[in-house]
Amino acid sequence: MKDTDRHPSVEVIVEDFGGKGLVARITIDNRRKLNVLGAGLIQRLTAVVCSLQQEEKVRVAVLTGAGDRAFIGGADVNEMAELSPGPAREFISRLHDACAALRNLAVPVIAKIDGYCLGAGLEIAASCDLRIASEGSTFGMPEVRVGIPSVIEAALLPRLIGWGRSRELMLTGRQLAAEEALAWGLVERVVPPGDLDASLDEWVQAILEAGPRAVRLQKALIKEWENLSLDQAIERGIDAFAEAFKTDEPRALMTKFLKRQ
Q: What is the pLDDT of residues 5-32, one digit of tens each?
A: 579 999 999 999 988 899 999 999 999 9
Mean pLDDT of 127-136: 98
3-class SS at 67? coil
Largest CA distance in the chain: 65
DSSP letter at 8 equals P
pLDDT attached to residue 200: 98
Which residues touch 16 (CB under 8 Å, ≥6 apart)?
Answer: 22, 23
**Is the per-residue pLDDT at 250 higher than 70?**
yes
Mean pLDDT of 202-221: 97
Mean pLDDT of 123-141: 98
Q: Which of 153, 170, 162 is nearest to 223 (CA)?
A: 153
Measure the CA–CA gap between 55 and 52, rounded to whole angstroms: 5
3-class SS at 84? coil
Percentage of the chain with pLDDT > 90?
A: 95
Mean pLDDT of 102-119: 98
pLDDT attached to residue 261: 80
What is the distance between the terminal CA atoms of the chain, rounded to a whole angstrom?
54
Amino acid at 171: L
Measure the CA–CA gap between 83 and 19, rounded to whole angstroms: 48
Mean pLDDT of 111-137: 98
**Is the per-residue pLDDT at 181 higher than 80?**
yes
Provide the annotated active-site residues: 123, 143
pLDDT attached to residue 6: 76
Measure the CA–CA gap between 28 and 31, rounded to whole angstroms: 8
